[in-house]
């Protein structure tokens, strides 16, 4: 009976850490029931138990995907659960390892599996264990060295220590090693939040406003609703302009019209006139067309009402903006019948009113994009998105967590404008401020705007921004050495 109950318990604890209730503490114990359930199991039994845990976890975590595609959701869950199964097999193989090696091999393997999942088949980096800690500020500060991978490692490492302690296999030497690691991580975290914060407080400032239109997904492309949608954004922008910002940001695909540079739609002319009238720089989301190609774009309009520059989204959502492998497997088109969006080709830097770059939709889940924008000179990042597809639930919070890590990894402000929320500001240490809320404190599916001064980053770059995923290489070296050891032993 425990073979079923324990993996289900593990899946529930881990999934709850990604809920909208800020239950990040559950992740620090969530793997323990799974590790207990794998004791004295065969290789095949381990895979089945891990796979069951994965199915339950992903079903509870991405339940909201059913609002977009039921068949796609089922296929995705069955695929993602494989990583839990492989992890369980790795635990099985590590039984004969010395406890000190086991302590690091298990979290290292989990991190490598998260990394593979984030890039294989275009990648699905959603719900990394580290992301569950986005409100746990002292713990996530190491992300400017290790990226989010280091935080995932820390959480799984604690689970292993707790498991060994439960089974009375935790030697004093092993506990001392872990205690030193925990002490160093937390010391760095508190040091960053106190000393480093003061170094970021005297930088050049820019006031930015974000607008949250709260447009229902079923109305966004309704031609009869287009005028009302645009008027709603115009009124919100006029209200935000009273704060005298240097830049006002609208969400992804906020203008309900197709942008073509040679023949702009009348609705875009209204937006241009608005920018000129208010003497405000605007950044708006739009679907654009160049020749026969369509793009998911961010359009910058200067304070005299002239469109200046466009960024076309680089990393597209599979089955959301295009259907991968549809020429090889035509049946995939039936999973989510959509028109194809083309990927952009350039890491665009917008130069007014300060150098910045835009991440559209789930591009904030891919750390290499943010790193490249900062390397090219961006002094802050913007994420424009539309999570209205997923209705009310935990999806907006799970998505928002990734933005927090991109800010911390690069030590820059990240400004977020989401159609239905969460919209607001994330400082270089992951602290949230000026989140758009209604009078009752609700953050999603509410209409509003928010303004704040942000500090513009200087030329200094973080270790992670310079050297990228070196932590993954360390994990790979560790696992490779362990595998060679096991093979030689056999």
Return the active site residues: 252, 313, 361
Judge contact between 131 and 362, C-beta under 8 A.
no
Answer yes or no: are the C-beta atoms of 222 and 242 closer than 8 Å. no
Distances (CA, A) of 363 to 58, 175, 379: 21, 39, 18
Q: Which of helix, strand or coil describes residue 181?
A: helix
Q: How far apart are the first and last CA of the chain?
A: 33
Residues facing 285 on adjacent strands? 298
Are 326 and 332 within 8 A, CB to CB?
A: yes
* Angle value at C-alpha 300, between 295 and 304, nearest 5 degrees: 140
Coil, strand or helix at 247 = strand
Q: What is the DSSP letter of 323?
A: -
Assigned token pair, 321: 């903006």
For 62-196, where are the alpha helices, taking DSSP H only? 70-93, 99-119, 137-140, 143-146, 148-166, 172-191
**CA distance linking residue 147 with residue 145, whole number of Å:** 6
Please provide the DSSP assignment of 130-149 as one string.
GGGGTT-HHHHTTHHHH-HH
Closest to 289 in 3D by CA, of 329, 250, 339: 339
- The string of DSSP letters for 23-70 reads -GGGGGTTTHHHHHHTTT--HHHHHHHHHHHHHHHHHHHSGGGGGT-H
| Token pair recorded at residue 61 | 């975590």
Tokens 């599979």 map to which residue?
A: 318
Residues 490 and 485: their CA atoms lie apart, in Å, by 9
Q: 254: which residues sit within 8 A by CB, 6+ positions away?
A: 211, 213, 215, 233, 284, 285, 286, 384, 419
374/118 Cα distance (integer angstroms): 21
| Exposure of 317 in the CB half-sphere (CA atoms within 13 A) | 20
CA-wise closest residue to 31 among 175, 164, 140, 160: 160
What lies within 8 Å, CB to CB, of 66 at 6+ separation is 73
Residue of 153, 141, 144 whose CA lies nearest to 178: 153
Give the dihedral sign, CA 480/484/485/490.
positive
């Amino acid at each position: 009976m425990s073979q079923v109950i324990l993996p289900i318990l593990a899946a529930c604890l881990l999934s709850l850490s990604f809920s909208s209730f800020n239950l990040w503490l559950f992740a620090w114990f969530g793997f323990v029931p799974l590790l207990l359930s794998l004791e004295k199991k065969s290789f095949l039994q381990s895979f089945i138990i891990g796979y069951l845990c994965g199915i339950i976890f992903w079903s509870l975590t991405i339940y909201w995907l059913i609002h977009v595609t039921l068949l796609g959701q089922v296929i995705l869950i069955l695929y993602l659960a494989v990583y839990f199964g492989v992890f369980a097999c790795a635990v099985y193989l590590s039984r004969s390892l010395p406890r000190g090696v086991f302590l690091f091999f298990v979290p290292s393997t989990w991190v490598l599996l998260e990394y593979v999942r984030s890039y294989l088949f275009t990648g699905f980096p959603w719900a990394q264990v580290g992301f569950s800690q986005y409100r746990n500020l002292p713990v996530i500060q190491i992300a400017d060295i290790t990226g989010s991978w280091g935080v995932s490692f820390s959480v799984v490492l604690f689970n292993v220590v707790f498991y060994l302690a439960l089974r009375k296999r935790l030697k004093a030497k092993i506990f001392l090693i872990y205690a030193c690691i925990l002490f160093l991580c937390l010391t760095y975290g508190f040091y960053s939040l106190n000393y480093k914060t003061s170094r970021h407080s005297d930088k050049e400032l820019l006031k930015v406003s974000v607008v949250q239109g709260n447009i229902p997904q079923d109305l966004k492309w309704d031609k009869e609703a287009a005028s009302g949608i645009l008027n709603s954004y115009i009124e919100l922008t006029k209200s935000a302009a009273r704060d005298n910002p240097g830049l006002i940001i609208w969400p992804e695909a906020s203008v309900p019209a197709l942008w073509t540079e040679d023949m702009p739609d009348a609705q875009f002319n209204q937006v241009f006139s608005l920018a000129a009238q208010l003497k405000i720089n605007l950044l708006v989301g739009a679907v654009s067309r160049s020749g026969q190609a369509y793009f998911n774009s961010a359009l910058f309009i200067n304070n005299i009402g002239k469109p200046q520059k466009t960024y076309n989204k680089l990393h597209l959502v599979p089955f959301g903006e295009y259907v991968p492998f549809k020429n090889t497997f035509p049946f995939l088109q039936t999973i989510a019948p959509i028109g194809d969006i083309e990927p952009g080709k350039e890491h665009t830097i917008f130069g007014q009113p300060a150098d910045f770059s835009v991440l559209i939709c789930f591009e904030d889940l891919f750390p290499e994009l943010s790193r490249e924008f900062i390397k090219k000179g961006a002094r802050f990042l913007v994420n424009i998105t539309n999570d209205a597809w997923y209705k009310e639930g935990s999806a907006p919070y799970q998505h928002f967590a990734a933005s927090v890590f991109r800010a911390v990894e690069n030590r820059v402000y990240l400004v977020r404008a989401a159609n239905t929320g969460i919209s607001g500001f994330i400082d270089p240490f992951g602290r949230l401020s000026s989140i758009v809320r209604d009078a009752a404190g609700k953050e999603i599916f509410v209409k509003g705007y928010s303004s704040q001064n942000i500090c513009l980053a200087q030329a200094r770059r973080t270790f992670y921004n310079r050297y990228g995923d070196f932590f993954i290489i360390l994990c790979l070296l560790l696992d490779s050495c362990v595998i060679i050891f096991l093979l030689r032993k056999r």
